[in-house]
Amino acid sequence: MSTYLFALGRWAFRRRRLVLGIWLLVAVLAVVLATASGGKTNDTFTIPGTESQRTTDLLQHTLPALAGGQTQVVFAAPAGRHITDPGPRAAVDASLARIKGVPQVATVSDPYTAHGVSPDGQVALVSVQWGAQPPDVKDASLDALETAVTPARQAGVQVEYSGSVYPGWRLVPSELPELIGLIIAFVILLITFGALVAAGMPILTAILGVVVSLMGITALASVINIASASTTVAIMLGLSCGVDYGLFILFRHRNQLLQGMETEQSVGLAVGTAGGSVVFAALTVIIALCGMSVVGIPFLTVMGLSAAAAVAIALLIALTLLPALLGFAGHRITRFISTRVRPGHHERVAKTSAAESPTTRGARWSRFVVRRDWLVAFTGVALLLLLALPALDMQLGLPSGASKPTSNTQRRAYDLISAHFGPGYNGPLLVVTEHGVPPAAAQRLAAALATQQGVAAAAPLAANPQVAIVRVVPKTGPNDPATADLVHGLRDHRAAIEAVVGAPVLIGGTTASNIDVSQKLADALPVFLAVVVGLAFVLLTLAFRTILVPIKSIIGFLLSVAAAFGAQVAMFQWGWGRHIFGITPTETISFLPLIMLAIIFGLSSDYEVFVVSRIKEDYTASDDARGAVRRGTARSARVVTAAALIMFSIFVAFMFTSDPTIKAIGFSFAVGVFLDAFVVRLTVVPAVMAIVGARIWYHPRWFARYVPDPDIEGSRLEDQLGVPHGSTDARV
């Protein structure tokens, strides 16, 4: 593999104008395609095969008016008045008349005749049923809904929205997190390289990759449903991986130039050696993300494939565009900045790093880890296990209005409904008969459901010759475990309910759908974990041609992800971070554990490859197991530290948003990367390898005959080129 990568890097160097032109053309075409398509993301979660999805499908065929999106409009009277007073009521009636004329609106309930006024008379709840699914409700229609309630607002009535679709429901991506992350990444790169050109190059290539990825996802959103979180995850990984992959190759190239190597050969060799580790690392991330498809959840499959595409583009840019830009830059990447306070400092640090001096911080740290191996290993594992303890209390759920910030209209609507009607009115259930029944039977069904434990109210909602629907309001909120118990209880006692109405019934609605999604995701976790662990074993066995290294890596990965789960539960579910992050404690997002398993696995494999490949290379040359651990860790510490800090910073930057889902994702990724890089890969892994010694590289005799050697370190390439390796180069 290293030989092919060497040829690719040298070709990109020689044809740099062509390569640059191709990538710029790809970016322009992606922007044009995204603009022309008009694609937009949405947060409608569906899972084929669940009862709630069967309910939705049935309604689409038999009663389309109730199968579309739904908006709850909450009208709250001014202080000291009631919503039934003549002034507020006239304003609400005028607003309702205008809402009925909004495009795509199918039905509008009248709160004054449909029991939609709260017992205290202060709030009216209006249900707006759309004739289209949430993703198909046009922004123009939502804008018209906002305009329609103007009479109520002019009369001093507070108007808020919630439901499956409402004005402002689509997440508008903010450029602030990306900007903050890029600024921090540039500062870290400037410290690492000490040169402006070298620091800016990975940033430029990462930005181009994100533009191509984001525009591609936007174009696809015009033909398939893509969750807004998919865009965020793709941007996170596109930026972080793009910068990191460029960093690894550029670090190798810059050090080779400082050692006197000719520019073209240095670029080719950097791609052939460090690029091999980058390819392997990227493939592990891509395969893990694509592995999310095995759980059979459409929106999660799309999320994984979108993120995998962003990583693949980052990889292609690192292997082609970066060598081309290095050709344009020449020796300018070794022009160091100099300050009056510390003149020549950055150049001295770079040359010391290139010469692999034992005085570097990485060398001192590796000596400490190897010397205190048992203490370091025990302390690191104990810390990770302690952080993982809160994960035992993890509760899964999908975001509801209760998790939104108080400035959000959905949160304000949720609070008004909970305070004046009861929390269950935020997430009513739908009990649907699978064929038509007489009106008296529907009334009997509603009366029977109203007597069930945990039900606040039940009433017929709609009927036709093919279907009858009863609206059931729980006593508890949509994300309360008691509501899930109610849904499961109704389904478990389905026979008794069907005996009352004389027809088969289904339990559905948005709340039931969210419960089904969370259950399906929880059931998929063990399957996906088995896939990820099996994949890790195969890939790392192939990379290092030994059995013990993959086992050690898998244990480290499990410790990292468990600790990240624990930190997330403590901060976001228990509420330890409510004041720090400005969030409301709520359940762990159902899909977060799955994407964390995929991404932390991929990134942990990155750092495992970058650290252990240096240790293996040294051991092959010296046959000194403990010394190889010490020297290999020292050689990889600086670049792995920079790479991990860049990823950590980019993930943390995404916490500077108002959306609690994005905050939870950013926090979880940041903690996972930080712990895996610094506690596991640069601390526990070297300590364990020092304890085990040469036995860590054991493999059966038949192993070498049947397991191919991908040569990710590029040792054979260096032998072909006559380049010394082992202890004198600065490979990643």
Q: Where are the domain boundaries for CATH 1.20.1640.10 in the chain? A: 1-43+174-285+292-355, 359-388+518-710
What are the residues whose beta carbons fall under 8 Å from the beta carbon of 375, sequence distance 6 or more?
A: none
pLDDT for 727: 37
pLDDT for 728: 38
pLDDT for 732: 37
Out of 215-224, 439-448, 471-480, 695-704, which region has the weakest mean confidence (pLDDT)?
695-704
Residue 150 binned pLDDT confidence (cut-offs 50, 70, 90): very high
Where does residue 115 rank: exposed (0-12), middle (13-18), buried (19+ CB within 10 A)? exposed
Residue 333 binned pLDDT confidence (cut-offs 50, 70, 90): confident
Structure tokens at 486: 């109610």
Structure tokens at 630: 């010490």
Distance CA 25, CA 201 (A): 19
Q: What percent of the chain has pLDDT over 70?
A: 91
Strand residue runs (E) in 580-656: 588-589
pLDDT of residue 413 exceeding 90, the answer is: yes
Q: How many helices (H) and strands (E) does the chain have?
A: 28, 10
pLDDT of residue 355 exceeding 60, the answer is: no
Q: 107-137: per-residue pLDDT in tens? A: 898 998 888 899 999 999 998 988 887 878 8
What are the residues whose beta carbons fall under 8 Å from the beta carbon of 269, sequence distance 6 or more?
A: 6, 9, 252, 253, 256, 261, 714, 717, 718, 721, 723
pLDDT for 584: 79
Nearest to 656, CA basis, from 181, 278, 85:
181
Nearest to 141, CA basis, from 150, 153, 131:
131
Out of 299-303, 493-497, 519-523, 703-707, which region has the weakest mean confidence (pLDDT)?
703-707
N residues, the chain: 732
Nearest to 328, CA basis, from 26, 19, 2, 730:
19
Highest mean pLDDT (candidates 155-169, 306-320, 389-403, 428-442)? 306-320
Domain spanning 359-388+518-710: CATH superfamily: Multidrug efflux transporter AcrB transmembrane domain (1.20.1640.10)
What average pLDDT does the structure give for the chain?
A: 85
pLDDT of residue 691 exceeding 90, the answer is: yes
Distance CA 195, CA 186 (A): 11
pLDDT of residue 673 exceeding 80, the answer is: yes
Distance CA 369, CA 363 (A): 10
**Rounded average pLDDT over 582-598:** 83
pLDDT for 64: 78
pLDDT for 725: 53
pLDDT for 583: 78
pLDDT for 726: 43
Structure tokens at 96: 């309702």
Structure tokens at 559: 């410790």
What are the residues whose beta carbons fall under 8 Å from the beta carbon of 64, sequence distance 6 or more?
A: 131
Give ∠ CA 204-205-206 in degrees, rounded to 5.
90
DSSP line for 579-597? HHHT----PEETTHHHHHH
What are the residues whose beta carbons fall under 8 Å from the beta carbon of 248, sequence distance 6 or more?
A: 274, 277, 278, 610, 639, 643, 732
Handedness of CA 577, 582, 586, 587 (dihedral sign): negative
Q: 6-40: per-residue pLDDT in tens? A: 889 999 999 999 999 999 999 999 999 888 887 67
Highest mean pLDDT (candidates 33-37, 610-614, 679-683)? 679-683
pLDDT for 350: 57
Nearest to 274, CA basis, from 609, 681, 668:
609
- Three-state DSSP class for residue 623: coil
Out of 63-67, 321-325, 691-695, which region has the weakest mean confidence (pLDDT)?
63-67
Topology given in CATH for the domain delimited by 1-43+174-285+292-355: Multidrug efflux transporter AcrB transmembrane fold (1.20.1640)
Out of 80-94, 245-259, 597-611, 701-715, which region has the weakest mean confidence (pLDDT)?
701-715
pLDDT for 587: 83
Nearest to 511, CA basis, from 410, 406, 424, 404:
424
Residue 87 binned pLDDT confidence (cut-offs 50, 70, 90): very high
Distance CA 48, CA 329 (A): 52
* Stronger pLDDT, 526 or 387, i.e. the higher one: 387
Residue 126 contacts residue 96 (beta carbons within 8 Å): yes
Q: 174-183: per-residue pLDDT in tens? A: 667 778 888 8
pLDDT for 356: 56
Residue 512 contacts residue 430 (beta carbons within 8 Å): yes
Distance CA 298, CA 679 (A): 35
Residue 531 binned pLDDT confidence (cut-offs 50, 70, 90): confident
Q: Where are the domain boundaries for CATH 3.30.70.100 in the chain? A: 51-163
pLDDT of residue 567 exceeding 90, the answer is: yes
Distance CA 572, CA 682 (A): 28
Out of 240-249, 339-348, 456-465, 526-535, which region has the weakest mean confidence (pLDDT)?
339-348
**Rounded average pLDDT over 318-324:** 94
Distances (CA, A) of 71 to 13, 126, 667: 56, 8, 31
- Three-state DSSP class for residue 656: coil
pLDDT of residue 729 exceeding 60, the answer is: no
Out of 169-183, 414-428, 525-539, which region has the weakest mean confidence (pLDDT)?
169-183
Topology given in CATH for the domain delimited by 51-163: Alpha-Beta Plaits (3.30.70)
**Rounded average pLDDT over 587-612:** 83
* Stronger pLDDT, 208 or 656, i.e. the higher one: 208
Where does residue 475 rank: exposed (0-12), middle (13-18), buried (19+ CB within 10 A)? middle
